[in-house]
A and B are shown apart, each in its own frame.
Chain A
Amino acid sequence: MSVDPTSVAPLAVTFEALTEPAFWIGVGVIAGIYTLLALGLQVNVGFTGIVNFGQAAFMAVGAYAMAILTVKAEINFWLALPLAVLITIAFGLLVGLPALRLRADYFAIATIAMAEVVRIFAQNARGLTGGNQGISCAEDDPTLCYFNEWREASDWINDNLVFFWSDPEDLFPLLLVVWATAIAATFALTYFTNTPWGRVLRAVREDEDAAMALGKRTLRFKLQSLALSATLGAIGGFFFALNLAAVYPINFEPLVTFFAFSVLILGGLANYKGVAVGAILFWFVLEGTRFIDLPDPPFTETRIAALRLAITGLLLIGLMAFRPQGLFGKKEEMVLGE
């Protein structure tokens, strides 16, 4: 693809950026999903001091459980959602019970390994998960898909609730629901922080032995923290699945967890409200680079992808070196030290 000399000058931002609502709605959905994932990490890392590197696994378990329950077990979609959350929580507790006894760095490695086990399982247990083709509709009945009920609900929202937009995009209802959930979760978690329960969590983060000496069963609180992030991960997984037409194993690589960590760190540790800001900034900058018209060559598609990865990497390195508390984090509430 050579650049048309009559078109825009190199490095100019094309005006397409402003006229493509579908694209930006898509980015907004992704940012909302990552807000949910990173909120889960915030509960664990920012407020309980457990370094969970397995958020992708919670997403995967939630998304696959929902898809399998609706398509294979033919359970109603709205019933399958809470069931899938329960399954993910059970999975989280199963992982947490043995792994939470470990030191923080071992816990991080154990959770990332566990996430890879889940992904490899999804890739290879073809009978249950459809392998690399993923899972979307029943094999014997292509009209029975996991997203059927959601599509109906989505159309209903567009027809009845979106009165301010005559011809809304298909993804618009998902954007509304994702962000409504994310905002509700942000406020709920902020509220919990100031309850006695939230104070114990922070005590565990600051000094587990001291919390134990006060008679708190810290393992129980850590498990609850993990269950909470499993719930948020599972919900993120549902939205991820609804955003796509199928649940693929490739969507749950460790990269997802690392991106969620980038969002978390950008927003700042120990601050729930910063997470959404971090997610929006991160994804709008990362996706916005698509509209910077770089000359090809040397900017081929792979190279632009590499550039985006480099931006993420530099962001992480820069934040850790110069502002480890992120944009809105509190330095005095950081658990980055040992």
Chain B
Amino acid sequence: MYADGARFLAPRLRSKPPPVGTGRGVPEAPNEIDTPVMEAGHLTDAAPTAMRGRLEERLRQSPALAASLILIAIFIALVIGEGLHDVLQTTVNGLSLGAIYALGAVGLTLVYGILKLTNFAHGDFLTFGAYMAYLVNVTWGAPLVVAVFWAMAATALLGLLFERTLWGPMRRRRAGFLQLILMSIGLAFLLRAVIQWFWGTEIRSLDVDNTSSVEFLGLRVGETELIVIVVGIVVIAAVGLMLRYSLLGKRMRALSDDLDLAETSGIDTKRVILYTWIFSGALAGLAGVMAAATTNIRPELGFELLLPIFAAVILGGIGDAFGALAAGMVLGVMTEWSTLLIDARWKVAVGFVVLVVVLIIRPQGIFGKAKAI
């Protein structure tokens, strides 16, 4: 099973951070950028001094653990302040938003990590997926399941097309990052223009039932939202397993870690890059359909999601697929939690504020390793 250079890579990959929630952190050398997590102080105030020292050391080495503790602390504080029911209700709402962020972020982060491409057109990939689903589901009247697969396939193809026509040739010319950023912005404009040409600017919606809801444990969840949450969590788990255990997933992470090293260890990087675009496009398409099903479809849909998705990418550490998945979920849930404390119309700002704060305090991301930032 260890073809190519995977055997060589395997030990190195095993030291990647595990998915959040397992509690096992990455052993990581402390360095000057690695700011101690400030919140750790008040969390451990009550603990005896000897234990406190050890715990602090442990938290310093494992920011993922510290982040989980902070999240749990916020959860408990919110439950005390606002009541269990409200917190759980917003958590459920946050899960569907978080699944959309996570699926959008995982593709973006891999493309970012592997190709050093800050892809501003990624949001419009989501929009494209949403409109593809609309085409099949509403215009042609096919069931939603068919529409989802069609949207994923079409968006994956789109990613492949641009790799072949734009990004590949630009890489061969050794284009700089500003050149690539501006090109991706141009591409975002072009995609949005094409969508606007065919579908106009009216707000549309998929043929889904947005009125009936299910109740359990006193929580009310829309049927569509529930499906989105379940699909989202299943796909996120599948993507996580695939990245962790499959050869392709390992190769993708190896490329994201260090493209040259991956190439010298015998990985066919060109093929993996193509697969990465397929993977990134398909998940963006799915995330777009999920956003379309829970809200509505309009040409700005994806661009509005792009910045929170970037926030998830940075929060998770650029190039870190597991980090992006976890950070997307965390960001979605935090966004909905914010409605307990402040007016709901402010919630769109939560992602941006988190992004700015993370960039300032810990630019390598909560789960990321401290590289040169």
Contacts and interface: CB of A to CB of B under 8 A. Distances in A.
Say if A and B assemble together.
yes
Interface of A: 45, 51, 98-99, 102-106, 108-110, 112-114, 116-117, 120-121, 123-124, 258, 261, 265, 300, 302-303, 305-307, 309-310, 312-317, 319-321, 324, 334-338
B346 A109 contact: no
B192 interface: yes
Given A102-B373, A316-B189, A321-B183, A109 B200 contact: no
Nearest to A298: B197
Given A113-B352, A320-B186, 9 more contacts: A104-B177, A106-B373, A117-B352, A121-B349, A258-B185, A306-B193, A309-B189, A312-B186, A324-B175
Contacts of B208: none
B187 A106 contact: no
Contact of A106 (B186, B353, B363): B363
19 contacts: A51-B178, A51-B181, A103-B363, A105-B177, A113-B355, A117-B349, A258-B189, A306-B192, A309-B190, A309-B193, A315-B186, A316-B182, A320-B175, A320-B179, A320-B186, A321-B166, A321-B169, A334-B176, A337-B174
Contacts of B352: 113-114, 116-117, 120
Interface residues of B, number: 46
A313 B174 contact: no
A335 B178 contact: yes
B170 A307 contact: no
A317 B183 contact: yes
B61 interface: no
Interface string B41-63: 00000000000000000000000
B307 A112 contact: yes
Given A113-B311, A124-B343, A309 B178 contact: no
A336 B197 contact: no
A120 B352 CA distance: 10
For B185, B186, B349, the residue with the greatest tally of chain A CB atoms inside 10 Å of its CB is B186
B310 interface: yes
B196 A303 contact: yes
Contacts of A313: 185-193
B326 to A, nearest CB: 19
Contacts of A324: 175, 179
Nearest to B345: A124
Interface of B: 118, 166, 169-170, 174-183, 185-194, 196-197, 200-201, 307, 310-311, 314, 343, 345-346, 348-349, 352-353, 355-356, 359-360, 363, 372-373
Given A335-B178, A336-B175, A110 B359 contact: yes
B314 A109 contact: yes
A18 B352 CA distance: 46
Given A113-B355, A117-B352, A336-B176, A108 B182 contact: no
Q: Secondary structure of the B side of the interface?
A: helix
A316 B193 contact: no
A302 to B, nearest CB: 5
A210 to B, nearest CB: 17
A113 B194 CA distance: 26
B201 A45 contact: no
Nearest to B299: A306
A314 B190 contact: yes
Contact of A320 (B182, B189, B191): B182
The 3 A-B pairs with the shortest beta carbon distances in the complex, nearest first, are A316-B186, A313-B189, A337-B176
B373 A103 contact: yes
A317 B120 CA distance: 13
B42 to A, nearest CB: 23
Contacts of A99: 356, 359-360
